[in-house]
Amino acid sequence: MSSPCYKRILCVSRFSKFRSTVKHNYKMGDARCISKSLAPLPLGHVQEKTVGVPLSELPSTAESLFSPMTIRGLTFNNRILVSPMCMYSCKDQDGVFTDFHLAHIGTLSLRGPALVFIEATSVLPNGRLSPQDTGLWSDEQEVALGRLVRLAKASNGAKIGIQLAHGGRKASTYPPFHHFEENSGRLGRGIVPNEEGGWGADIVAPSAIPWKNDGKYPTPNELTKDQIKEMVAAWASSAERAVRAGIEVIEIHAAHGYLIHEFLSGNTNHRSDEYGGSFENRIRFLLEIVSAIRSVIPEEMPLFCRLSGTDYVGGGGAPLAKDETGWDIYQVTELCRRFVQLGVDVVDISSGGNLSIVTKGIMAPDFGFHLPLTEFIKKANIPGLTVAAVGSLQNPKLADEAVRTGSADLVGIGRHFLKDPNWVYTAAEELGVNIRWPAQYSWMWAWRK
Ligand SMILES: Cc1cc2nc3c(=O)[nH]c(=O)nc-3n(C[C@H](O)[C@H](O)[C@H](O)COP(=O)(O)O)c2cc1C
């Protein structure tokens, strides 16, 4: 309400002598532009499915941040997605989505991104990162998710996706902001004791290697082959629930040192059976999950997979360094080739998170720090593969350039959507692109024009 733009618009109606000055001050995205975006809508029907779509022709024919894109049966209004972000906000430690999730996802989905991902949602109780995480293994959770999706889709053009996850040896920890005050503003996790809802004795991983060797983190139970089969079935079951709840995109969380990543990397997978050792064996668990999910979701539904592009172990932690027996971008690229055959459409590239002694990756502050990894995959020219980049891409020119230069096809934004839920409009203004706003939010800018 107090934004300068709003004040200027009020001036137009009440003090018409300022009209010409005010008009002169309009920028892209203010009333002059928005009024062009007003298309008549039938009475009683103000659901606008093209929010975030550019309204005039884009300045060049090259693909850019605001080019729409179709993957399988789904058309995305632009290239911007809200990256999955855990909110640690379930009320009763039951994994059930609450009204908080409704407000959070609802707010973001109204504001023009092509796709909003719901946070890492666990396929089993022991896969939650904290007791307050969301889950999708029960009917109650499915019903709550259905309500969330229905309401988030009530009046906007954003597609709603969900990230399915299992935290592996990093499960059963406190939310990062827990004890924030007592820790003098330091973030910390730490294992949640049983009396507070934790499950330290039921933490699982490919190998019995604790997250930290400080005596505070329990040694995880090594999954048996039968348990691996049950785990694969749990992923498929959650995917089925997601489809029934109205979810339009599923992302498999295979990054950040969680269960699947622990299998992928020789740094955390020391198994000697067919799920460990060689590259073929380490990727087996993930490929089984991919096939199981593909077999239960509609053909037209895009399937995403988030991968860490590297563990930052080889070559002094350089992003493109080799780590053949661990996890590196060369193995990731080879995995992407197999993905396309199995029906994964998009790889969403992040990094790190697999080793407590490595602090690089995930939320680093350096602008576009994952672009060398996505560029590497893009240069492999894998037919049918779409590549999403994420990580400090909040500068609209950088995000646009990433798409224009072919470093990535989609751009994920995390923290900056929390700071500025209108980031899509902010970016459109900065790039001089006129996009559609929800009718309910835009008509008043054209009032008495
Ligand atoms: C509050 C918060 C929660 C996050 N939770 C998840 C998550 O559930 N799954 C995931 O893959 N990444 C998660 N991340 C990482 C983000 O999706 C994103 O990759 C990262 O923040 C880098 O993007 P940014 O620089 O635009 O924030 C989280 C990040 C934040 C800030």
**How large is the average pLDDT for residues 214-225?**
94
In order of 102, 105, 107, 173, the CA distances from 151 in angstroms are: 8, 9, 11, 31
Residue 180: pLDDT over 90 = no
Q: Which pLDDT score is estimated for 20? A: 30
Going from the Cα of 14 to the center of ligand 1, the distance in angstroms, rounded, reads 45
**Helix, strand, coil abundance in the chain, percent, nearest 5:** 35, 15, 50
Give CA angle at 242 (51, 158), nearest 5°.
Answer: 5
Residues 6+ apart with CB under 8 A from 249: 74, 115, 117, 159, 160, 161, 162, 301, 302, 303, 304
Confidence tier at 39 by pLDDT (50, 70, 90): very low
Burial (CB count within 10 angstroms: exposed 0-12, middle 13-18, buried 19+), residue 129:
buried
Lowest-pLDDT choice from 115-119, 148-152, 250-254:
148-152
Cα angle, residue 283 at apex, residues 279 and 284 outer, rounded to 5°: 115
| pLDDT tens digits, one per residue of 108-119 | 999 999 999 999
Q: What pLDDT is recorded for position 56? A: 80
C-alpha 263 chain-centroid distance: 21
- For atom 29 of ligand 1, the residue with the nearest CA is 85
Domain boundaries, the chain: 1-48+442-449, 57-433
What's the CA-to-centroid distance between 57 and ligand 1, angstroms?
32
For range 179-207, the mean pLDDT = 84
pLDDT band at 449 (very low <50, low <70, confident <90, very high): low
Residues designated catalytic: 258
Give the separation between CA 112 and CA 423, rounded to whole angstroms: 9
Residue nearest to atom 23 of ligand 1 (CA): 391
Closest atom, ligand 1, to C-alpha of 255: 11
Alpha carbons 270 and 276: distance in angstroms, whole number: 6
Residue 190 scores a pLDDT above 90: no
**pLDDT given for residue 58 in this prediction:** 78
Per-residue pLDDT tens over the stretch 5-38: 333 333 333 323 323 333 333 343 343 344 444 4
Question: What is the average pLDDT across 432-448?
Answer: 83
Higher pLDDT, 12 or 178: 178
Determine the distance from the C-alpha atom of residue 388 to the mean position of all C-alpha atoms in its chain, rounded to a whole number: 10
Question: If pLDDT is split at 50, 70 and 90, which confidence band does 50 have?
Answer: confident
Name which residue sits closest to atom 4 of ligand 1, judged by CA: 85
Q: What is the mean pLDDT of the chain?
A: 88
Nearest to 436 by CA among 66, 104, 105, 83: 66
Output 447 or 307, whichever has higher pLDDT.
307
Residue 425's pLDDT band (boundaries 50, 70, 90)? very high
Full DSSP string of 20-58: HHHHHH--TTSHHHHHHT-----TT----TTTT-BSS--
DSSP 57-99: --SSSS--TT--EEETTEEESSSEEEPP------SSSS----H
Residue 61: pLDDT band (50, 70, 90) is confident
What are the residue ranges of helices labelled H in 245-328?
259-264, 279-294
CA 82 to ligand 1 centroid distance, Å = 9
Q: Options 3.40.50.11890, 3.30.70.870, 3.90.1150.10, 3.20.20.70; which CATH number does 57-433 get?
A: 3.20.20.70
Count other Cβ atoms within 10 Å, centred on residue 181. Answer: 8
Report whether pLDDT(431) > 80: yes
Instruction: Look at residue 120 and give its three-state secondary structure.
Output: strand
Taking CA atoms only, the protein residue closest to ligand 1 atom 22 is 391
Q: Which residue has the higher pLDDT, 143 or 58?
A: 143
Which pLDDT score, from 0 to 100, does residue 138 have? 98
Range of lowest pLDDT (32-41, 145-154, 288-297, 406-415): 32-41
Q: Which of 29-33, 156-160, 430-434, 444-448 has the lowest mean pLDDT?
A: 29-33
> What does residue 148 show for φ and ψ, rounded to 5 degrees?
-60, -50
Mean pLDDT across the stretch 342-368?
A: 96
What was the pLDDT predicted at 10? 32
Pocket test for ligand 1, best of 164, 370, 415, 424 (most atoms within 8 A of CB): 415
Residues in the chain: 449
Q: Is the pLDDT of residue 44 over 90?
A: no
**CB of 124 closer than 8 Å to CB of 289:** no
The set of protein residues with a Cβ atom below 6 angstroms from ligand 1 is 83-86, 119-120, 163, 253, 255-256, 306, 350, 362-363, 390-392, 413-416
Burial class, 212, CB count within 10 angstroms (exposed 0-12 / middle 13-18 / buried 19+): middle
Q: What atom of ligand 1 comes closest to residue 306's alpha carbon?
A: 11
Q: What integer is the mean pLDDT of 158-185?
A: 87
162: helix, strand or coil: strand
- pLDDT number for residue 196: 93
Contact by Cβ (8 Å): 248, 160: yes
Q: What is the pLDDT of residue 91?
A: 94
> Could you write out the DSSP letters of every residue in 125-143?
GGG-SSTTS-B-SSHHHHH
User: What pLDDT is attached to residue 287?
Assistant: 98
Whether 236 has a pLDDT exceeding 50, the answer reads yes
Q: Are strands 386-390 and 346-350 parallel, antiparallel or unpaired?
A: parallel
